[in-house]
């Protein structure tokens, strides 16, 4: 993500997709709680671990895996990657 795009998000001029927000959370090293709160504040569905894709993302955040590893796991499970 570019600095300009991030600035626009934080200034409230852009509304990112759920995937973009999740990538941002990975980049910031956010916890599960912080990620869920950000999604909730943006009016976007929180991670729901009973869904396969969300469970993989949740696991990655919980175990502090990097975005590349999570995208590989999502790809291996035939799920859409984050970025």
Local confidence pLDDT in tens for the 83 residues of the chain: 667 877 777 777 877 889 989 998 998 899 999 999 989 988 899 999 999 999 999 999 999 999 999 999 999 999 999 98
Q: Rounded distance, CA 12 to CA 83, Å?
A: 21
Q: Rounded distance, CA 73 to CA 54, Å?
A: 12
Query: pTM, whole model, 2 decimals?
Result: 0.84
| DSSP summary character for residue 20 | H
- How far from 34 is each of 48, 60, 77, CA to CA, in Å? 15, 14, 26
| Helix segments in 11-80, DSSP class H | 18-28, 32-41, 52-62, 67-76
Which tokens in the block code for residue 13? 């001029």
């Amino acid at each position: 993500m570019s600095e300009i795009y991030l600035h626009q998000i934080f200034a409230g001029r852009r509304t990112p997709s759920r995937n973009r927000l999740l990538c941002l959370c990975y980049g910031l090293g956010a916890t599960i709680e912080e990620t869920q709160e950000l999604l909730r504040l943006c009016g976007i569905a929180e991670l729901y671990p009973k869904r396969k894709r969300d469970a993989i993302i949740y696991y990655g955040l919980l175990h502090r895996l990097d975005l590349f590893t999570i995208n590989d796991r999502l790809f291996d499970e035939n799920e859409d990657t984050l970025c």
